[in-house]
Structure 1
């Protein structure tokens, strides 16, 4: 009898292990079945999906399988679809099926159902939003008209589904000819030529004339202007403006000459608009002629990018009066963006208006971003970590783990369906409070989904955990290689966080791979330089990737004055570009960063540098000065411009 309990214990353990193994095997089988069903949907084999569904009723992703089986009913007012939407109300599978139902019903002209279901959409895609608004506009709904007007006045690349909505606005008298020309100007300025054609078709205006009309304006603007000479009427004025905008977008230097020659027949606002587009494009080229064009554009309303470049040109020229004037001319919500709040404050400070400057800096001080940190420093402080939130409790974690959206997202990651997992995860985070977000971040961390952990931790409003926002995975590898290359570890982590969010198998659309997003050609070049042989797949090996990435960081840093701002820009866009973007005079690091021509690189550099501040604070307990880190960018010189080019 004395040996019964140990024997029983061993039997229980073996039985439990066998049971867990059986559960694991069954889960793997269900995962494989789900992937088969997913492939069947892509191939139009809905009959196969129905055959597989009984095996998937208990799977986390069963709602998606159920929605696939309902696709044949999208063209009818289906009770089964209504039941599905009610069952999964507020969840992503219901949102996606409802969107497809609206699309199908809109194409059939069942606008009553479209209107009923449209108001239930939580985050509609642009085409669904337009379909949903169209019947309401036709029924005289003033709120719908207001929403549609926003799409008209702010949109550039609206989907074809919006054409019916815009036709309804025009038919209901909610649009004027001037609204159409303004939208067409914006679209031509953004090189959206087909969309400009659609806009003008809504207006029902005759865009043909003896000079070739709209076709010539968009394809041969110089010839159109030569044939036209002086505009004869308002339509020709608008067409001439479009032709000049078309030229300004692609050949700003030639547009200057054309505007001087043909612009006298245009209204002042039309001339200023063309000068604004010229200033934008010359600003991107960092031409010394950009400042004159910007000044001639006045404060006319331009596309967002053009208005931003009006300020960037003034910043590089250190014309603080112009900086202030152009920011104050911005519409909301643009004027409230952290960058323009900060630079308006700097313009006040440069003009001796210290009290006004302080008021501006206070609006964004304390925000955990590039300009929030700089504003804090302008007020005499340093970025600091907020009080650490209490860790998520076991019960809080269990509650969030039970949420269907979280379970579906984790299942998608388990199946290596990362893009779908990202969308499901983001949907699941909607409406979560801080405690739930921290629990979600902890769940993602435990599942080694670091990028989703960061995305959850980044959303908290009052209770924060900066160790989850700025994690330090792969510390042994990163610390070792950073020390070996004598690199600032906070900077390396800040760059890596922006590059890959610590996804080891991350691959960009241009082929950059791994934690540090090393391009294959760059990886091969660095490997050859240090005598390392790369094998297939080595770029995704964390240790190899970090070794190559940090080595390249060191080489780039040494080639660019040992300046981290230049080196960060170079890591993203190439050393040649980073070197080219300097000025003929010394430039404040923050101004250099804000006036980088590539929007991706501009955003990248600002985030890398602000990331580095918080990593340094977390690692050492001391907050460095971002302004000191940004320093001053040395001017261009023949010596530095002729430096050996790195890949």
Structure 2
């Protein structure tokens, strides 16, 4: 270790001298004051070791695992040697531009120092001060950014030019420049565009500017230029323009080979693709099998409206099959077509298999009868037959029919999806066939078999079959998990709930290291400027490439900004789940508590619904139009508002106070409708009371945990499980008395349908 310290000292000396020499060459004189002495470097190393030891002791107090002082010092020195060697190599090849940067800050030296084993890299105090100073400067630049943006919109070029020159180090500078360049692309020199894209090409504004430039070049028919500036993208329009450019420059084979991935989509292709698709089709490479594959993709995603537009790419002799397919999609009963049944062509088999599966979704009895009487099994391949059996069985399973197991059992294991395997277990559970439950759990994948979820059900089955000792051991294992099944297992064996709450602790310097990343800075500025949508987009774009340590830090940073939805999302992408402070924030606690107590429902329940519905994002809007903190549909919100004699507009659902008032009232209505059963009320809040009523009639009386696990809708099933677990977590977070899950999960029966006069 002594030799390594000597080597570090030598490398540090070399870098200081090299830096001073570079500075002196630019200024004409040598400043010897910047060259460190041997004693200075020894003092620096000694301070490093003392600081590491202090941090290690502090980490132990916080129950954080750390390495020994000697191990940390050794690892630190090894990392420092590697980094300093790389720095020396980099400096030896610096350009004139880089030298100019050194001239501006000759006395600054940025060295990395190791954190304790659990936290990664920590910057020196000089770097921390530098970052903090930059953040203060950024805060002062916000008003200048607003003024520059306004000047650009109003066309005040001189004012904009003066302002933009002061914002070159501002995080949102690329957005302003991209907006400016996009507005005058035709007159802008290619050199300026290339320079901008070289620096900012991978940022959101850079990607947008490149797209605009590609479209302009396509209009100008500058195909070689498009090939030169194109970068791989998910944009089908850009990909088509690039392939068109390849075609126009006599690289047809490459263009046509690229088109297969563009073609196979359920979405409508942009107009820019027409040219290259027409040439691809004319070349004979756009074959009928490719057309049929795209038809299947479109039908699977319920985009059947556009499938007839693909008729032009089929030979005239095959177009009638596309029309037949479209008709069967609209009316599945039309599979009773003699021509279709008698044909031995592969496409006829595909259409017939699709029709049978579609018929099975709504009329499984008719599909099963048709499958037995009218179809010769040897005309289908093994996969098609498995898919038909699967669909008939799944529809029966959703309806609570035990005969579904007969159909699901016919599916060979190699064609059985994870979803199908889970439903075999659920059907056996619904009918309390405990030996079958154990049999089908054993058929699950190893990962699922060992999961806490299915371990709980294995324990339930063992308990029901008299093997209580084995069941108790499994319940003990599951009870250590913070989840719906974990809490249920704890209730079974009467032990305390395991919340496993461990807060992430980082120093200000550690958080500054992540906060100073360019993408996080851009998201931060948009957030503090009030451009929340742009902030969310930039944040998501940035954290995609984050590793575990940065994800955890970014989550803590967002939490400190009170940007709770991003904090929850970011920590959810990491492998760490135990910081309940970040994952279950207490925003709007007082408002929720007041409204809940007024209506005599549990405040923790309302908080759990907000956490699951919107993650505390006030402007949240779902794909079906639900809005606000408690994700109310506008129609439902208006109905509840009328009951409460409140005047409102849809836009008002973004207001936390109104959304919470209406959402809590709606929860209360569902609770009253289903005789005070929180499980049924929770499922009704998500799926609608009419569906819950239908499921109750189909299934009859059963234990509440079995009822939850056999909810037909995946979204509602997971939603109900999560809400029930979140209630217990929020009771702990809010300092409320813990009401164990078994008290909420009373047995469910058809009698739970009460007060049907309430109609939503």
| TM-score, structure 2 normalization | 0.62
Q: Deviations over 1:414-437 (max 9, x none)?
A: 444333221211223344456644
Once the two structures are TM-superposed, the CA of residue 313 in structure 1 deviates from its matched residue by: 4.6
Matches within 5 A, 1:283-362: 283-284=397-398, 286=400, 290-297=404-411, 299=413, 301=415, 312-313=426-427, 315-318=429-432, 336=447, 342-343=453-454, 346-347=457-458, 350=461
Task: Tell me what 2:35 maps to.
Answer: none
Distance 1:83 1:602, change over 3 A: farther
Match of 2:176 among 43, 47, 65: 65
Distance 1:488 1:216, change over 3 A: closer
Q: Deviations over 1:149-202 (max 9, x none)?
A: 9x99xx87366489989x99xx999x996x997886575455343687799999
Q: CA separation in 2, counterparts of 1:111 and 1:349? A: 67
Q: Secondary structure at the match of 1:604?
A: helix
Residues 115, 133 of structure 1: 8 Å contact kept: no
1:427 aligns with 2:541: yes
Task: Tell me what 1:640 maps to.
Answer: 753
Q: Which moved more, 1:505-514 or 1:461-470?
A: 505-514
Distance 1:393 1:435, change over 3 A: farther
Distance 1:105 1:447, change over 3 A: same
Q: CA separation in 1, counterparts of 2:213 and 2:442? A: 45
Q: Secondary structure at the match of 1:86?
A: helix
1:230 aligns with 2:345: no
Q: Deviations over 1:268-321 (max 9, x none)?
A: 633332232233345445567655544455557378877766665555345567
Q: Secondary structure at the match of 1:230?
A: helix
Residues 278, 293 of structure 1: 8 Å contact kept: yes
1:570 aligns with 2:679: no
1:605 aligns with 2:714: no
Task: Tell me what 1:11 maps to.
Answer: none
Residues 356, 388 of structure 2: 8 Å contact kept: yes
Task: Tell me what 1:450 maps to.
Answer: 564
Task: Tell me what 1:262 maps to.
Answer: 374
Distance 1:350 1:199, change over 3 A: farther
Q: CA separation in 1, counterparts of 2:554 and 2:502? A: 19
Q: Which moved more, 1:345-354 or 1:605-614?
A: 345-354
Q: CA separation in 1, counterparts of 2:692 and 2:511? A: 45
Q: Which moved more, 1:603-612 or 1:109-118?
A: 109-118
Residues 365, 375 of structure 1: 8 Å contact kept: yes
1:631 aligns with 2:740: no
Residues 342, 360 of structure 1: 8 Å contact kept: no
Residues 252, 278 of structure 1: 8 Å contact kept: yes
Q: CA separation in 1, counterparts of 2:476 and 2:216? A: 50
Match of 2:674 among 539, 560, 564: 560
Residues 231, 240 of structure 1: 8 Å contact kept: no
Distance 1:533 1:259, change over 3 A: same
Task: Tell me what 1:16 maps to.
Answer: none
Task: Tell me what 2:508 maps to.
Answer: 394
Residues 321, 347 of structure 1: 8 Å contact kept: no
Task: Tell me what 2:394 maps to.
Answer: 280
Q: Deviations over 1:513-562 (max 9, x none)?
A: 543344555455545556x5446676555444434433332332232232
Residues 629, 654 of structure 2: 8 Å contact kept: yes
Residues 53, 65 of structure 1: 8 Å contact kept: no
Distance 1:435 1:199, change over 3 A: same
Distance 1:409 1:210, change over 3 A: closer
Q: Secondary structure at the match of 1:263?
A: coil
Q: CA separation in 1, counterparts of 2:559 and 2:401? A: 47
Stretches of structure 2 that go unaligned for 5 or more consecutive residues are: 1-136
Matches within 5 A, 1:517-528: 517-519=631-633, 522-523=636-637, 525-526=639-640
Distance 1:490 1:65, change over 3 A: same
Once the two structures are TM-superposed, the CA of residue 495 in structure 1 deviates from its matched residue by: 0.9
Q: Deviations over 1:120-153 (max 9, x none)?
A: x6xx46887999999999779xxx99xx99x99x
Q: Deviations over 1:587-610 (max 9, x none)?
A: 343443344344443343233223
Q: CA separation in 1, counterparts of 2:675 and 2:194? A: 64
Task: Tell me what 1:248 maps to.
Answer: 360
- Count of aligned pairs: 601
Matches within 5 A, 1:116-195: 118=231, 124=234, 157=266, 160=269, 188-193=299-304
Alpha-carbon RMSD? 5.7
Once the two structures are TM-superposed, the CA of residue 611 in structure 1 deviates from its matched residue by: 2.0
Once the two structures are TM-superposed, the CA of residue 470 in structure 1 deviates from its matched residue by: 0.7
Q: CA separation in 2, counterparts of 1:356 and 1:457? A: 36
1:384 aligns with 2:499: yes
Q: Which moved more, 1:109-118 or 1:245-254?
A: 109-118
Greater Rg, structure 1 or structure 2? 2
Stretches of structure 1 that go unaligned for 5 or more consecutive residues are: 1-21, 41-46
Q: CA separation in 2, counterparts of 1:137 and 1:634? A: 65
Q: Which moved more, 1:214-223 or 1:100-109?
A: 100-109
Q: CA separation in 2, counterparts of 1:381 and 1:527? A: 41
Once the two structures are TM-superposed, the CA of residue 207 in structure 1 deviates from its matched residue by: 3.9
Matches within 5 A, 1:408-557: 408-432=522-546, 436-437=550-551, 439-462=553-576, 465-508=579-622, 512-519=626-633, 522-523=636-637, 525-526=639-640, 529=643, 533-534=646-647, 539-557=653-671
